[in-house]
Amino acid sequence: MKRLILCLSLSAMTIFLSAAGINYNGTNLTENTEFTRTQCGTMYKNTMSETSGMAASRQTKGYLWAHGDENTGSNRKIVAVHPSGTLAMTVNITTTGSDRDDWEDICTGVYGGKKYIFIGAFGDNDLKFKDEYYIYFFEEPAITSGTIAVNANYIRFGYPDNAAHNTETLMYDNVEQTFYIADKVKDGICHLYSLPFRTDYGTNLQRLTEVCALGNGDKFDLCTGGDISPDGKWIAIKNKKYLLLWERQGSESLSNTAQRLPQQVAAYQEETQGETIAWLNDSTFFTTSDDKNDVPIYQYDRWGGTVIPDPDPQPVDSSLKAINEVILSNHYYAFINSGETIIRGWYLAGESVPTIDSCNVSAGATWAQSGSTLTVTALNGSTAVYTLDIQPVTPCAFTPEEIVFDGSESSWVKGAYGWDDTKKWRFSKTDTDYSREIAGKTHVEFFLPACDTVVLKSMDSKERDVRIYVNGVQLGGKTKLLTTGNSLVVKQSSAFMLSVCSAQDSGDGGVKALCMARVSTAIETAEKEQNTTRKFIRNGVLYIERNGQTYTITGIPANR
């Protein structure tokens, strides 16, 4: 076991003064100003992309466990990282008897003198699983190095109302040896539930017990993460904007604690995709974001800024100056072909030329843009120069007929891994290797005219996992791309970019056909009416009727 030394670092801290907090249930919360916020490290996308859950190790102090948003195939794993972001170990997980892939949170705890890891496989954006929610558990291994494999047991549970719930928060109380689970409700009130932990539930369905409502569904909905401090003193539950804190009084039950008003942590700053919180001890916790890019790891400390130094930092090659990822301001993921220094990107014709929204480069390197040139400078001062090639795209013309791709659509289909007669417009599997995304292998964009729905068809009989984005905004959750097609409700009144991004764990996918549909808009109705002009003669006089109004040949309105 590695030994950690704590040192004081007051740089880059965020300290907040007391102010009125959010309206929680008719009462403005008190702000807790005891915590300071410091960026202690980075969760690198090639270590864990889209970090959905994080928990502190109880076996090897000072380390964190994390899992991603994709949990199928080779991605059924958790990683151990130092708060600096250094990868220590990977644990591949099998779950005999259950294969739920929507893991949303992780926590750690002690039961019967043994230390455990718990994983909540209970995400349900489409509210379709009902009683098929799982908590996977296994004894926590010591964190050393390399990769190991474990087989997890599970607890299957359902909610007391016998209905489906979408959930992202799993917590474990060491005092009561009980799980506390907060569901995720949009535009409504989230609720807290409990379930005692036992190792002998077997395959029997367990029912949660409702504890209380959380907030009023206004300022505090969409709970995305939470954790209980190892001494059971503190509950912390967050959404993307706010982090709330409950303090246990004496030996009271945590159910009673949760029914009192919480405090709002003043130092917390909104994390756009913030889904994680992990208590290290009774005074320090960590948060990070569910994002495909490298993201900061933040450390929060009560009454001080102790930052845990990395005991085994990974050496950085001072000569590296490669670009790993470029995202444009229109949400297009630009790409660079292997061996080239041209950054290619596209945008809708008629709109402003997009700028670089973010640029991910080699560790320690920096980048700067001047016009159409982007220069990456390594730690040793050497440079690499890239050229921006960002071109406008004219969307395809609207047609109600199905478009079966033949490769000629390259003027309005962009970013694909490639084209062939078998796989059509291709995308490759999701991979933590930067090279796949920088080469545009994991997604394909379609530049389309205004329409209400789009039907996409898969290239073969295999169902392909994808995520769909409209102008960079995700449309629902993960979905299946089917041979028979799946219909997407897009409701776009102007031209737009539709992105199909791989959510696979293996193999190549492809899109073979597309069909658009739209209802008559006010403009289309007006255009149709303008084309319904007729002439007629009455009592020897020539009249013209247009849009329901009758005129004489001289243009004077006339009554019929």
- In sequence order, what are the residues at sequence separation of 6 or more whose Cβ sits closer than 8 angstroms to the Cβ of residue 38? 9, 11, 12, 13, 14, 298, 299, 301, 305, 307
Report pLDDT for 527: 44
What is the distance between the alpha carbons of residues 58 and 226, in angstroms, rounded to a whole number?
17
Q: Is the pLDDT of residue 540 over 80?
A: no
pLDDT band for position 4 (cuts 50, 70, 90):
very low
> What are 413-470's pLDDT values in tens digits?
998 888 888 889 988 887 656 677 788 888 899 999 999 999 999 887 777 888 899 9
Number of Cα atoms under 13 Å in the Cβ half of residue 154? 23
Q: How confident is the model at residue 17 (pLDDT cuts 50, 70, 90)?
A: very low
**Does residue 509 contact residue 456 with C-beta atoms inside 8 Å?**
no
User: What is the pLDDT at residue 120?
Assistant: 95
Residue 362 has pLDDT above 90, yes or no: no
d(CA 490, CA 475): 8
Share of the chain above pLDDT 90, in %: 50
pTM score above 0.75: no
**CB of 455 closer than 8 Å to CB of 485:** yes
Q: What SS3 class is residue 178?
A: strand
Dihedral of alpha carbons 175, 181, 187, 189, sign? negative
Read off the tokens for 32: 């807790």
Q: Is the pLDDT of residue 216 over 60?
A: yes
Nearest to 399 by CA among 498, 513, 526: 513
Nearest CA-CA partner of 473 in 444, 438, 447, 497? 497
What pLDDT is attached to residue 361? 83
Question: Is residue 77 a contact partner of residue 90, using CB atoms and an 8 Å limit?
Answer: yes
What count of residues does the chain have?
A: 560
The per-residue pLDDT of the chain, averaged, comes to: 85
pLDDT digits (tens, 9 = 90+) for 464-500: 888 899 998 888 777 888 888 889 999 999 999 999 9
Task: For residues 259-266, give the mean pLDDT.
Answer: 93
Burial of 112 (0-12, 13-18, 19+ CB in 10 A): exposed
Among residues 327, 290, 273, 348, the alpha carbon closest in space to that of 498 is found at: 348
The predicted pLDDT at position 171 comes to 97
Q: What is the pLDDT of residue 137?
A: 97
> What was the pLDDT predicted at 100?
82
Domains recognised in the chain with CATH numbers: 7-307 (2.120.10), 323-517 (2.60.120.260), 522-552 (no CATH)
Contact of 521 with 458, CB cutoff 8 Å:
no
pLDDT digit string, tens, across residues 188-208? 889 999 999 999 999 999 999
Contact between 369 and 385 under an 8 Å Cβ cutoff? The reply is no
Above 50 in pLDDT, residue 73? yes
Flag whether pLDDT at 237 surpasses 60. yes
Residue 524 has pLDDT above 80, yes or no: no
437: enclosing H helix or E strand:
helix 434-438
pLDDT higher than 50, residue 387: yes
pLDDT band at 525 (very low <50, low <70, confident <90, very high): very low
Round to whole Å and give the CA distance between 343 and 337. Answer: 8
The reported pLDDT for the residue numbered 110 is 94
250's CB contacts (< 8 A; 6+ apart) are none
267-281, 283-297, 522-536, range with the lowest pLDDT: 522-536
**Which backbone phi and psi does 440 adopt, to 5 degrees?**
70, 30
Query: What confidence category does residue 5 fall into, taking pLDDT thresholds of 50, 70 and 90?
Result: very low
| DSSP conformation class of 256 | H
Task: Specify the 3-state DSSP secondary structure of 292.
Answer: coil
Give Cα separations from 248 to 171, 236, 265, 468 (angstroms): 15, 11, 16, 43
The residue with tokens 């296994």 is: 138
Amino acid at 265: V
Work out the average pLDDT over 505-522: 81
- What the block records as the tokens of 442 is 């994991």
Give the helix/strand (H/E) hosting 530.
helix 522-530
The long-range contacts involving 158-164, CB below 8 angstroms and separated by at least 24 positions, are 158/130, 158/131, 158/133, 158/205, 158/206, 158/207, 158/208, 159/183, 159/193, 159/207, 159/208, 160/193, 160/207, 160/208, 160/209, 160/210, 162/130, 162/131, 163/130, 164/124, 164/127, 164/128, 164/129, 164/130
Output the pLDDT for position 543: 67
Distance CA 111, CA 175 (A): 10
Q: What is the mean pLDDT of residues 94-122?
A: 91
